[in-house]
Amino acid sequence: MPANYAFYRFGAEALKTLPEQQRRPIQRFRRLYNGGLLGADLFFWFRPMVQSPVGELYHTYSSMNGREFFAQACELLRQNPSEGATACLYGLLANYCLSSHLSDLFCRENAGCSRTELEVELDRYLLCLEGKTPAHRQDVSPNYHMTRGECVTLALFFPPATAANTYAAYRSMVSWSHRMTAKKRGFTEFLLKTARSDFRDQMMADHANHRCLHLDAAMEECCSHALEQYAEMARQLTAYREEGVPLGDLFNATFH
């Protein structure tokens, strides 16, 4: 469950920084906004034990820069306008804002840990900061409840994903989150030993990951810096959608 809690926490704080006009559709369609917070990371969970074309959407979209992704997303929204899709778009923006900031930190520090390890450690650290202990027993998947109909809207932004495989990815995320936070996790640990390499680090340990512990404070600071920029990025995205004003340098980075 890499950084699922971090994204949910960031999205809740980011929402408070928006003007009322932008908050309104998000408040009406909060679950779609939360779904957008998952971004392309959701497809990481599609049949995660093996590689598949749908699962590869995670890598395809994560390698896009913000300008490219949001130009495509806004065009898709223009062709399929709805308040729910608008709420989802600003959730996707929050995912990009935090992802791109964390990626910059991870690249600079070159910590010797996988990105998944760092994101799991970030979730553990934030959960502990907020008194949600033991952190490794916290199932955060209920924060992202989505219906099949809501997955139709989310899938819109990730062609060629369909509503069916988007919902399947969501259900897989929920299932694995339950398994990884269960009281008895021995069989899940056994399964993960046979999984592809980038999925083996998903299980949150019951203690800090000492290989990346030194980055906890820096990751928290990174979240704060991203939060300071979110409202400006949302303003630029709105100007791009409504007036065709080009997106600025804040959209140069890739998601990962």
Digit-coded pLDDT (tens) for 1-24:
458 999 999 999 999 999 998 899
- 194 pLDDT tier (thresholds 50, 70, 90): confident
Contact 94, 189 (CB under 8 A): no
pLDDT score for 2:
58
pLDDT score for 1:
46
* Pairwise pLDDT comparison (113 vs 17), residue with the higher score: 17
Q: Which two tokens stand for residue 123?
A: 């979730």
Which amino acid is located at 28 in the chain?
R
pTM, rounded to two decimals: 0.95
Contact 153, 25 (CB under 8 A): no
The closest of 99, 234, 85, 256 to 158, measured between CA atoms, is 85
12-43 b/e (C-beta count within 10 Å ≥ 16 → b): eebbeebeeebbebbeebebbbbbbbbbbbbb
Q: Which two tokens stand for residue 178?
A: 């339950």
